Every structure is written in structure tokens, then in C-alpha cells.
Amino acid sequence: MLIEEIVDHGLGLAPQSVVADVRIGLGYTAVCLEDGRCGLAFTLHEKEYESCCVIPEAGSLAGRKGSELIPWMNSQDVTACAVGLATLNAVIAAPAAAVESDILDLLPVDPEDSVGMIGYFGPLVSPIKKRAHAFHVFERKADPEYDILPESAAASILPDCRVVVVTATTLLNHTIDGILELCRSAREIAILGPSTPFLPEIFRPHGVTILSGIQVVDPAQVLRTVSEGGGARQFGKAVRKLTLRCC
């Protein structure tokens, strides 16, 4: 599975990394290392917790090695998985080839293309619709008002899409392998969102052509924003939005 590949690779990057701070906010989860590096992952809400405890090991995470938390990406608990992914993103250095550019500047969409989007990215919808022949958005919950289809519809539509945009939260709910399998005819596959790990060497063999995410440049401000329930819009200049072509 892709997540297992990512975890194995991440462990090789984090042998000496020590976690200094973990924040699990309502919108995002942040992990900062003792050397100042910081990573983010979306805090996915998929269930109601039956007690006031979300992470049983809370209170003991700071001070652990990054190599202890990265394997949490394998957890079926999406909150624990977010801690693992945020830790991974903290240890990954942004590739020198990544550029501060709008993903649409690097994602070619031709007039004859059918485009699929896994996860609703509002700012991208209108520009892509104007370029593409057909455009389909899939979410766990359908919303006819915004032409959002249920995820079950992806199985019959994605195989015919030539361009696909996939939210990185598919790493958190462990659906990314099935989605990438459906994208077998796609010319371009972009993984998008602050949770995106910049690991082109891992994603490239799975057909991914673009990785678009962020680099934290002001960890203190990011930690504060996460703790106060903020999201991507509130990060502002505390992060850099980066896009990387994998091939």
C-alpha cells in the first residue's frame, strides 16, 4: 500500500528527529520538532468520540522521536493518522524544484479533457470548469446544489477522466490506493492540500504527476492558529504554498 511505502521512507528521514510540540486542532493538526521544523495534516472528523479522550497517549507525545509517531499513519483512527502525517511532513524538506505557484499554472487542462476532483476545492472549481469538456466533483456526502457527486459515483466516472485532482486527506482515511487505481487513464494526477507530503519518488510510480502543498515558515504562528481552531485561510504568511511537478 502507498501509505506503507510513505511510512517506510519517512522512517529513514527521521532517525534523530525529536518531537517538541503536538497540537490537534479542530481544523488542522500540527507537529513541531526540536530543530524548529513543523508539519501539518488535516484533522479529519469521521466519528463521534465516546469519551473526552481523543488520543489515549496525550500528554506523552512531546519528547518522543519522530520515528515513533510517523507509523501512526497506519492507524485506522484518523486523528492518530493525522499526527503521524503531520510528523512526516515536519521531517520532509521541501524539494528545491518546488515553486510558489498556483497549481492551475502547472496543471494542464485541455478543452477535450474530462476532469475529476476528489474533495471539493472551491477556488479551483470555476477555473477548471472553464477549461475542461466535463468536470466532476466527488465527496463522501453528495450536494446537488454544488453538483457534488457521492464517492460511490467515482468508480464509474474516474476511469474516463484524463485529469484528476485528489485531496491529500485520502491519506488519512486510507482511500488513496483505490482512488489511484481508478485513475489508470489519467494523463495528470495532482495531490493537493496542506497535508500533502513532498515525496515525488514515492508518488511518481503510482502515476502522480503533481504534488501541491505547503511549507511552514513561521511555526509559532501556525501552532497558535491550529490551537485557536484556524485553517488554511488563517495561516497566511506563516506558510508558503508550493507546487512540484513529479514528472
User: What tens digit of pLDDT does each residue of 174-222 get?
Assistant: 999 999 999 999 999 999 999 999 999 999 999 999 999 999 999 999 9
pLDDT of residue 145: 82
Task: Give the helix ranges, DSSP H, for the chain.
Answer: 2-13, 66-69, 78-91, 103-106, 122-131, 154-157, 176-182, 200-203, 219-227, 232-235
**Does the pLDDT of residue 20 top 80, yes or no?**
yes
Is the residue at 204 inside a domain? yes
Considering the chain, what percentage of its residues have pLDDT values greater than 90? 88
Is the residue at 145 inside a domain? yes
pTM assigned to the model: 0.95
pLDDT of residue 120: 95
| Residue among 26, 15, 21, 4 at smallest CA distance from 226 | 26
What is the distance between the alpha carbons of residues 84 and 88, in angstroms, rounded to a whole number? Answer: 6
Is the residue at 221 inside a domain? yes
Is the residue at 47 inside a domain? yes
Q: Do 191 and 113 share a domain, yes or no? A: yes
Cell numbers for 6: 510513505
Q: Which domain holds residue 45?
A: 2-93+215-238
pLDDT of residue 168: 98
Q: Are 119 and 166 in contact (CB under 8 A)?
A: yes
**Does the pLDDT of residue 82 top 90, yes or no?**
yes
One-letter amino acid identity for 51? S
User: In the chain, how many domains are there?
Assistant: 2
Strands (E), 45-203: 114-118, 134-139, 148-150, 163-167, 188-192
**Does the pLDDT of residue 223 top 80, yes or no?**
yes
Mean pLDDT across the chain: 95
Is the residue at 98 inside a domain? no
